[in-house]
Amino acid sequence: MDLRVHTVAVDSDAPLLSHLPDAGGVVWLRQGEGFVGWGEAARIDAGTGPERFSRAAEAWADLLESVTVMDDVGIAGTGPVAFGSFAFDDRSHGSVLVVPEVVVGRREGVTFLTRASATDDLHDTPPAPAIVAEGPAPRGDRVRYAGSSVPDVLWLAAVAAAVDRLEAGELEKVVLARDHAVWSKEPFDARDLAWRLAERFPSCFTFSVDGLVGATPELLIRRLGKRFESLVLAGSARRGADDVEDTALGEELLGSDKDRREHDLAARSVYDVLGPLCDDLAFPGVPELLRLDNVQHLASRFVGTLHRADDLTALDLAARLHPTAAVGGTPTSDAVELIRELEGMDRGRYTGPVGWVDRTGDGEWGIALRCAQLAGARARLFAGAGIVVGSLPEDELEETRLKLRAMQGAFGEELS
Amino acid sequence: MPDPADQALAAAITTPLPDERVAGVELVTLAELADRAGMPLAVLEAIEREGLLVPRVAEPEPRYAARDVEVVQAGVDLLQAGLPLGELLDLARRFDTAMGEVADDAVELFARFVKDPVEGTAEDGAQAAEALVDRFQTMLPATSKLVAHRFRQLVLARARARLED
């Protein structure tokens, strides 16, 4: 059954989330722009294994072969768009691309609506999107703790074990994560989480794809034509209570050998992938500070021009970059092996690529950090920390605790 | 010249009570302590770095009083009941901040209302030293008992209030 896809400009300056009628829809938002989408015109289950990315990319290319497009807007993200989320580990399930029936998008101030269906006659202009909500619904029941896959006493011991292995020279860096399960007497609504995350982290990408909801500052790759951009974040500190403390913590972070080492490994892993694909990629060398609501990060931005864009979509680039040292470690294969050995849980799609790709191969993919996997009235929240020689397990535990609190806040949990 | 009363008090503070004197106390390494408490060594190392576990002897190698195993065991009991370690450490840090202020006030009260009068009325330094150490060794367990009792009352009262909400 061939899809017909029709994009029209619409007159709306309402927040995109206010148009989303379905809690199971997709969300990709940053500073008011991006997409919301609902319904499923097509769904590609990417399966497991390292070939999950290429399997999804091929299925997407096949699907595009048979799509009839009428695009009245013609900017990145118009026409058929797939939203995806991929598992971190080759062995984990859940990797998926979804093509919604309706997408409401906004880019450079232009709002558009895309409808994909097998029956659309393309001459029939889709109706303007309705406003269905003006903000998150107040919670009827509080958020309750439901334990962790690994008690944090054992997680702390796992961090200490990882530090021993790093000190023995087996590898340079490994990222260890833990989860925090919650439940409630009423189902969690991905839209409410997205509202709160977008409000609290306006400079992050707020996403919701197939039950994975979060906000990530980490732009794995943005490809628009031949131009691409990637933002590497690794090494972090908390925000200060006032400007003086905040500046001091930032300076300390910039001057910390441990954090710089951790950051440089992550930046190098991205540079090694993107560098050969273009002539003009510079290695920034000295990271900048990126300050978010609850945490500040060391950040390196890579901007370059691909030799050619037509054979590498944004999804292909994301697949090549995954897993970066910011979520796996260095060297990658040793780190992934150590994560399997020590972490004691399935990350699922946490720390995997999440984002969108359009028919030209343009798209944006982030890394699913600071996120939760929703399942009705239950959810799993995740947080991780980069471990290098010199890491203190209790500091890493505290870092993950603070990261988890940011997500707990998005659930409407009141924290002391 | 150091005051003999101050010296005696300083010694008493280092080993607060007679039964805590090093001579009569079994000393163990952190690894042995972890083993007895059934805790990963990494957790005790973290707790030690947080300042929640203090070695009785620092040189040549840190040694801990075997009776500290009871304190560690109390922590283990809380963890086994379900409290996450990260939250417990955070609570311990906040407890230290809040109680540090009260402890400062308690020390100030001792200095003003016990130490000053004793030194002002004792016949000589030796007598003052003996009286101070004696009062200190009475007051420390008494203070600990009062604080523990009051904390327990507070926890129960707050729990009751929470249930009635």
Q: How far apart are CA B29 and CA B22, in angstroms?
A: 14
Closest CA to A367 of A87, A27, A54, A175: A87
Average pLDDT over residues A283-309: 88
Closest CA to A227 of A299, A304, A290: A304
pTM over 0.95: no
Average pLDDT over residues A2-21: 94
Residue with tokens 């072969």: A65
Name the burial class of residue B35, with classes exposed (0-12), middle (13-18) and buried (19+) by CB atoms within 10 angstroms of its CB: middle
Interface test with A, best of B50, B89, B91 (most A CBs within 10 A): B89
pLDDT at B112: 96
Question: Does any CB of chain A come closer than 8 Å to the CB of residue B34?
Answer: no
Closest CA to A401 of A148, A219, A146: A148
User: Could you say which of A148, A153, A161 has the minimum Cβ distance to residue B79?
Assistant: A153
Enumerate long-range contacts of B29-34, CB under 8 Å, 24 or more apart: B29/B61, B29/B62, B29/B63, B29/B64, B30/B62, B30/B64, B33/B64, B33/B66, B33/B68, B33/B69, B33/B72
User: Could you say which of B39, B84, B89 has the minimum Cβ distance to residue A394?
Assistant: B89
Distances (CA, A) of A254 to A167, A233, A237, A259, A348: 23, 13, 10, 8, 32
Question: Does any CB of chain A come closer than 8 Å to the CB of residue B165?
Answer: no
b/e map of A303-329 (b: 16 or more CB within 10 Å)? bbebeebeebbbbbbbbebbbbbbbbb
* Residue A230 binned pLDDT confidence (cut-offs 50, 70, 90): very high
User: Could you say which of B43, B87, B90 has the minimum Cβ distance to residue A156?
Assistant: B43
pLDDT at B32: 92
- Taking only the tens place, the pLDDT of each residue in A140-175 is 888 999 999 999 999 999 999 999 999 999 999 999
- Taking only the tens place, the pLDDT of each residue in B38-82 is 889 999 999 999 888 888 888 788 889 888 888 888 988 998 888
B86:A153 CB<8 A: no
- CB-CB contact of A236 with A249 (8 Å): no
- CB-CB contact of A218 with A369 (8 Å): yes
Residue B9 has pLDDT above 90, yes or no: no
The complex's ipTM?
Answer: 0.80
Residue B21 has pLDDT above 60, yes or no: no
- Residue B94: closest C-alpha in chain A: A416
pLDDT at A407: 87
Question: Does any CB of chain A come closer than 8 Å to the CB of residue B50?
Answer: yes
pLDDT at A115: 94
Q: Which residues of B touch A398 (CB under 8 A)?
A: 86, 89-90
Q: How far apart are CA B77 and CA B89, in angstroms?
A: 14
- Taking only the tens place, the pLDDT of each residue in B96-115 is 999 999 999 999 999 999 99
Closest CA to A233 of A373, A342, A384, A53: A384
Query: Which range is least confidently modeled, A357-371, A397-411, B134-148?
Result: A397-411
- CB-CB contact of A82 with A98 (8 Å): yes
